[in-house]
Structure 1
Amino acid sequence: MRFIAVLRAAEDYGFPPPELAEGIAALGAEAVRSGVLVDTGGLLPVATATRVAVCAGTLTVGEGPREDALPLGAYAVYDVTTRDEVVRWTKRFMDLHRRTWPGWEGESEIRQVFGPES
């Protein structure tokens, strides 16, 4: 089963501390060696986003952030056998933030991917 974990956090925290970047790199390498990490990446600031939406039958294109949600900051795609497995990996990722970046707050949302490879 494939899952995507997306990180949502305010962008006013600045750059992550080096200890966090090193921890994320190590966790990612471990997940790749374990054969569960398919893809991962950080995202540019939400100010660079383009939104394409349909609302009330009208197609619109807009720039910048949605006002009603924390911006997406990163994502990871996992190929695992159970939802619990992706929850464990995501908890480790979020715990790195908690331990190495005092005051930082954010959340990860985990969603199962459906399609030919899921």
Structure 2
Amino acid sequence: MRVMVLVKADADSEASVMPEEQLLTEMGKYNEELVKAGIMLAGDGLHPSSKGVRVRFSGKERSVIDGPFAETKELVAGYWLWQVRSMDEAVEWVKRCPNPMLGESEIEIRPVFEADDFGEAYTPEARERDERLRAQTSQRQ
């Protein structure tokens, strides 16, 4: 199963406080463990929401909202995409993670939808299209 592992933002990450060398070293070692175990598919830190935008949809209308965004605890500061056998395995890996923030922090784990999750609505044509797009995307990496 694939899971998205979301590192929640805090006041420091939203203020562009960069991690110290020790944390970068610890996270680098942790990421090496994830790669060696065949778990990590992707991962990066994100700039604060002040550098981001949101696009709000209302019917056919679209509006752009510039950051920063108010609810820091609901924002994401970084992510990993992992391939694991179970949610329990993902939890065990997160428990081994260095604390990604200077103070208290939170990491959220959410399963990624797989093709079979969509049932009959996911037609053979849609499945073929998505497989083609994934192949094209992986070629560009």
Does TM, scored on the shorter chain, surpass 0.5? yes
Which letter maps to 2:32? A
1:7-32 deviation line (CA, Å, top 9, x unaligned): 11214262222111111100101110
Under a length normalisation based on structure 2, what TM-score does the superposition of the two structures give? 0.70
Under a length normalisation based on structure 1, what TM-score does the superposition of the two structures give? 0.82
Where does structure 2 lack aligned partners over 5 or more consecutive residues?
Answer: 118-141
CA distance in 2, matches of 1:117, 1:5: 21
Q: Is the 8 A contact 2:9 2:72 kept in 1?
A: no
Which position in structure 1 is the counterpart of 2:2? 2
Which range moves more in the overlay, 21-30 or 66-75? Answer: 66-75
* Aligned counterpart in structure 2 of residue 87 of structure 1, from 83, 91, 98: 91
Q: Is the 8 A contact 1:9 1:105 kept in 2?
A: no
CA shift, 1:117, in A, is 9.7
Where does structure 1 lack aligned partners over 5 or more consecutive residues?
Answer: none
Which letter maps to 1:92? R
CA distance in 2, matches of 1:11, 1:74: 14
Which position in structure 1 is the counterpart of 2:52? 49
Which position in structure 2 is the counterpart of 1:19? 22
CA shift, 1:69, in A, is 4.2
Q: Is the 8 A contact 1:36 1:79 kept in 2?
A: yes
1:17-57 deviation line (CA, Å, top 9, x unaligned): 211111110010111011011001000111001101225x4
Q: Is the 8 A contact 2:48 2:68 kept in 1?
A: no
Q: Is the 8 A contact 1:52 1:59 kept in 2?
A: yes
CA distance in 2, matches of 1:27, 1:67: 31
* Aligned counterpart in structure 1 of residue 99 of structure 2, from 85, 97, 100: 97
Which letter maps to 1:46? S
CA distance in 1, matches of 2:115, 2:70: 34
Aligned-residue RMSD, C-alpha: 2.2
Instruction: Please identify which structure carries the higher strand content.
Output: 1
Instruction: Please identify which structure carries the higher helix content.
Output: 2
Which position in structure 1 is the counterpart of 2:79? 75
Instruction: Note if 1:35 corresponds to 2:34.
Output: no
